[in-house]
Amino acid sequence: MVFCRGCGKSIHETAVSCPHCGALQQGPASAPSEGTLWLPVPALLLGLVAFLALFDETDWDTDTYVGVFMFIVVALILGGVALATQKRGTGMAIAGV
């Protein structure tokens, strides 16, 4: 008996696919996908756009400045962390956007 590459349950050694999960047993195991940059990069860009909005000549009150500044900090930090350490396209990048 051998163990399935997909679910880890014991299967017959000549099985082409797992009867439990259907995973193919022959050939190299597939590598986990790297993901994409479609969420970390927009999180960083939204933080930069909000930063540029601070320089607009609109007469904002203090609460609006604080809110925009907090948005900038959160978007840049979460987007940067997601870009550097997380699996791309998940986790903190979604929160950053």
Q: Which residues contact 74 (CB under 8 A, 6 or more apart)?
A: 47, 95, 96
DSSP annotation of 38 reads T
Identify the burial level of 40 via C-beta atoms within 10 angstroms of its C-beta, where 0-12 means exposed, 13-18 middle and 19 or more buried: buried
Please, are residues 26 and 43 in contact by the beta-carbon 8 Å criterion? no
The per-residue pLDDT for 63 is 92
- HSE-CB of 5 using CA atoms within 13 angstroms: 14
pLDDT digits (tens, 9 = 90+) for 5-52: 888 888 888 888 888 888 888 765 544 455 566 677 888 888 888 888
Residue 14 confidence (pLDDT): 86
**Per residue in 43-94, pLDDT tens?**
888 888 888 888 887 788 889 889 989 999 988 888 887 777 755 555 656 6
Confidence of residue 97 (pLDDT cuts 50, 70, 90): low
- Interior angle at CA 30, CA 28 and CA 35, nearest 5: 155
